[in-house]
Structure 1
Amino acid sequence: MQPSEVSGIQYLVPSNPYSYSPHFGMSQSNKPALESKRFSDPAYNLSVPPQLHKISPYSSCISSNSTSDEADEQQLSLIIERKQRRMISNRESARRSRMRKQRHLDELWAQVVWLRNENHQLIDKLNQVSDSHEKVLQENTQLKEEASELRQMISDMRLSSMNLEDVALEHGLS
């Protein structure tokens, strides 16, 4: 029974509230009461008084035991329903978590691919610059050698020119 289906509340009023046995663990015939969760409540072992007052004219007369059975079943069904909702909620949460994890993993792999590509491009550029640097160093070495050779040639030319002047002076050609 759902809360929206309740049309009225029933309650019991005893004719003499002190007429019940003080031994709640025993029934009226002094036999031991059933040991279960449902019958451990003292109200289950009392006899039902003849007076039953109704709050709503639409409610029906239900005995105390059947009402409590329905309440127990309703409570059990609510517990089961809550467990099922919690289980569904947990599954949905786990599914969302797996999706987030997969999305994050996909983003990381995309980043790995991008970084690898960027790394290859940088390595290619570094190789090109390194090759250019080697060529420049070789060209620089070659130019230094040529400059040294040219200096030597100039030096040799000056010497030979001086030697010619000296020879000419000695021979009086000047």
Structure 2
Amino acid sequence: MRPSEVAGIHYLAPDNMSPFSSNFEEHQLSIIDERKQRRMISNRESARRSRMRKQKHLDELWSQVVRLRTENHTLLDKLNHVSECHDRVLQENARLKGETSDLRQMLSDLQIGSPYSALRDLEEVTCNTAHLRAESANQSITTSTNLLH
């Protein structure tokens, strides 16, 4: 055997294979075909791994989409609940302001028609309960009745 060089690769060629014989060319083609086969197999495996990575990434993205949609739905539900609570508080606030105004008017009416100066001191007391309105109405009726007798 003698060393030969083909395309930068050293190998031992059999003595009966000279670089100019057809067996030598067939052997070279065989080596080239073998390398192409290995490269093709390696490329296929690399492409398979790449497809698997891509699929895994796609699966992770879909998972994230589902999670974010769920979170978005939950946040929208919370926002709707807070908005409803806000609306109820505004309505309650408006109702209480109206009640306060009514109570102040009743107190003013009582002070004007009452001979008692102690009622004037009640103007500074803040209250917002409905039962006071009923009591004021009852007192007004009682006062009117007493004035008539």
1:88 paired to 2:81: no
The worse-fitting range, judged by mean Cα deviation, of 102-111 and 84-93 is: 84-93
The equivalent residue for 1:27 is: none
1:128 paired to 2:81: yes
**Cα-Cα RMSD:** 2.7
Write the distance in 1 (CA, Å) between the matches of 2:46 and 2:85: 58
> In the alignment, residue 154 of structure 1 is paired with which amino acid?
L
Write the distance in 2 (CA, Å) between the matches of 1:76 and 1:136: 88
The equivalent residue for 2:137 is: none
Write the distance in 1 (CA, Å) between the matches of 2:74 and 2:105: 46
Q: Tell me the SS of whatever aligns to 1:135.
A: helix
The equivalent residue for 1:9 is: 2
In structure 2, relative to structure 1, the CA distance for the partners of 1:122 and 1:64 (3 Å cut) is closer
In the TM superposition, what is the alpha-carbon distance from 1:69 to its structure 2 partner? 2.1
The equivalent residue for 2:32 is: 79
In structure 2, relative to structure 1, the CA distance for the partners of 1:122 and 1:9 (3 Å cut) is same
The equivalent residue for 1:138 is: 91
1:34-75: per-residue Cα shift (whole Å, max 9, x none)?
A: xxxxxxxxxxxxxxxxxxxxxxxxxx863748x732221111
In structure 2, relative to structure 1, the CA distance for the partners of 1:72 and 1:123 (3 Å cut) is same
In structure 2, relative to structure 1, the CA distance for the partners of 1:64 and 1:109 (3 Å cut) is closer
In structure 2, relative to structure 1, the CA distance for the partners of 1:120 and 1:145 (3 Å cut) is same
Q: Tell me the SS of whatever aligns to 1:106.
A: helix
In the TM superposition, what is the alpha-carbon distance from 1:162 to its structure 2 partner? 5.9
Q: Alignment length, in residue pairs?
A: 108
Give TM-score scaled by structure 2 length: 0.64
Gaps of 5+ in 2: 4-13, 118-149
| Percent identical residues | 63
In structure 2, relative to structure 1, the CA distance for the partners of 1:61 and 1:102 (3 Å cut) is closer
Write the distance in 1 (CA, Å) between the matches of 2:27 and 2:52: 37
Structure number with greater Rg is: 1
Higher RCO (C-alpha under 8 Å, 6+ residues apart)? 1
In the TM superposition, what is the alpha-carbon distance from 1:139 to its structure 2 partner? 0.6
Give TM-score scaled by structure 1 length: 0.56
Write the distance in 2 (CA, Å) between the matches of 1:122 and 1:91: 46
By percentage of residues, which structure has more helix? 2
